[in-house]
Homo-oligomer: A and B are copies of this chain.
Amino acid sequence: MRYAVLGTGMVGRTVAARLNSLGHDVVMGTRDPEATADRDEFAAWRAGERGAAGVGLAGFAEATLHGETLVNATAGKASVAILTKAGAAHLHGRILIDVANPLDYSHGFPPTLQPVNDDSLGERIQRTFPGLRVVKTLNTMNCRIMVDPARVPGEHTVFLSGEDPEAKAEVRALLHAFGWPEASVLDLGGIETARGAEMLLPVWLRLMGALGHTDFNFHVQGARRGSTGLVPGADA
């Protein structure tokens, strides 16, 4: 399978290397491929990381054309603009795996989200590119855990949000290849549920602060029990 991984930061590199290790044909997309290739950090990754050596590097548009499946690992604030320039508007039927978060650092740390609450990055991408089959997933954990869930011992959860059941089924298969057990994958529903997944970031950030590390993930405990009840704190 040909993958385009858009974004050459740590998330993009981690996902690209893992896909390549699994035998996929991966090209990473970046704004300026020559400048990226020259950066020490990138060159070191290319030379040293398992799975990195076979990964291609190209501009966003060229990478996007290459990929049968796209992975959005760009900074969430830039994702729609990047996908637009990459020509995503002309792509119909391709799956876009959106692992980004629309973090807003303009007011310092910790970042807030933009959009948030009555919209989400996942929805924005789906709305802007109706031909793409957007699946929001993996955005709620450190990138090392995305591709190696056993890094966190015990059971924990990866969410799916998207309109297209077949696209979600294909993403499930990829998650399984990454090492996620079937029972760990929780389908929240349509792309609107990306709001919930993205709004896990504020508590994620504060957990990083409180715990002093990022080797944790959320687990939905009790997902299989059955009972009804009320929304917490909704005493209207």
The answer to whether A179 has its CB under 8 Å from any CB of chain B is: no
Q: Are B189 and A199 in contact (CB under 8 A)?
A: no
The answer to whether A217 has its CB under 8 Å from any CB of chain B is: yes
The answer to whether A96 has its CB under 8 Å from any CB of chain B is: no
A145, chain B: closest CB distance, angstroms: 8
The one of B77, B107, B139, B216 that contacts A223, using a Cβ cutoff of 8 Å:
B216
> What is the count of identical protomers in the complex?
2
Q: Are A232 and B144 in contact (CB under 8 A)?
A: no
The answer to whether A222 has its CB under 8 Å from any CB of chain B is: yes
Other contacts beyond A11-B233, A189-B210, A201-B233: 16, CB < 8 A: A9-B235, A75-B233, A75-B235, A99-B233, A101-B234, A138-B232, A188-B203, A188-B206, A196-B205, A197-B203, A211-B223, A214-B229, A214-B230, A216-B222, A216-B223, A218-B220
Q: Are B207 and A188 in contact (CB under 8 A)?
A: yes
